[in-house]
Amino acid sequence: MPAVTETAVEFFGPEWAERARAAVDAGPDAALRETKLPTYWGWIDNVRATYGESWALGVTDLPGGPRYLKLSWRDGECHAAEITGPDVDADYVLSGPLAVWRDLLDGDDPGRIVMYRRLRLSSGNVLRFFRGIYFFVESLAAVARVPATLP
C-alpha cells in the first residue's frame, strides 16, 4: 500500500497543533525505532511512562507576536495541545526565532538544536528538564515531521 502523504497545514495553526500532539503521543514508528539502539528507546519509554509535565514551544518572531504550542502530558500521554501567546504558562517554556524552526522543519538534528541552545529555556528548572532530555529531543523531532506551511 503506498504511503499516504500528509498535506501541509498552517504552521502554529490549530490543525498543526493537533497533528503535533498526535505525533508526539504516537511516538516513533517501527521503522524509526530500527535506526537506533533499543536501549535508547527503552530509556525514553521509561521517562515517558510517568511523564506529567507541560512544554510550551514558542516561535518568537511571528507576525503579531510570539506564539506557543503548548503540549500537556499526563501519565505518559500527551493529552492536550493548544496554540497560545504571547503569554504562556507551562512547566518548561522554550522558544526561538522562525529561522530555527525553519531549520528544524528542514531536517536539522533536534539534538543539535538543543545542544547548541537554539531554543532557549525562558521558564522551568534546567536540571529537571534535562532528566527527560532525550524524550524531549525525540518529541521535538516528531513535531518537526508534521508538514507545515511557514509564513
Partner 1 sequence: MTRMSDDVMDAVENSELKQIRDIDIDDVLDYVHRDLKKLPDYEQLYRRYLRQRWDVYDLDFTQDVRDWSEGMSQEERDSFVAISAGFHHGERQVEVELPVFMLGGSEESKIYMSSQIEDEARHTVFFDRFYREVVKMPGATVQEVLDSSFAHVSETFVGPFGLLAYQADDLRRDPEDEAARVRYGTTYFLWIEGVLALSVMKITLSYCRNRGFLPGYYTGFTATCRDEARHVQGGMRFLRDAVQNDPRMLTEIHDTLRTILAINGATSRRIALEALGWSPEEVRRLMIRQLRMKLTDVGISLPPDIQEMVNRIEPELAGG
What is the contact surface with partner 1 in residues (CB under 8 A)? 36-37, 39-40, 43-44, 109, 111-112, 114-117, 120-121, 126-131, 133-134, 137
- Nine cell digits for residue 56: 510550551
Q: Is the Cβ of residue 41 or residue 82 nearer to partner 1 in the bound state?
A: 41
C-alpha R_g of the chain: 15
Q: Is the Cβ of residue 33 or residue 79 nearer to partner 1 in the bound state?
A: 33
Q: Is the Cβ of residue 9 or residue 47 nearer to partner 1 in the bound state?
A: 47
CB of 110 to partner 1, least distance (A): 10
Do residues 71 and 12 touch, judged by C-beta distance below 8 A? no
Beta strand extents in the chain (DSSP E only): 9-10, 54-59, 67-74, 77-84, 92-96, 120-123, 148-149
Q: Is the Cβ of residue 83 or residue 121 nearer to partner 1 in the bound state?
A: 121
CB of 47 to partner 1, least distance (A): 9
Closest C-alpha among 56, 75, 78, 76 to residue 66:
56
Closest C-alpha among 24, 39, 37, 51 to residue 137:
24
CB of 7 to partner 1, least distance (A): 30
Q: Is the Cβ of residue 52 or residue 151 nearer to partner 1 in the bound state?
A: 52
CB of 149 to partner 1, least distance (A): 27
Closest C-alpha among 68, 27, 59 to residue 46:
27
CB of 114 to partner 1, least distance (A): 5
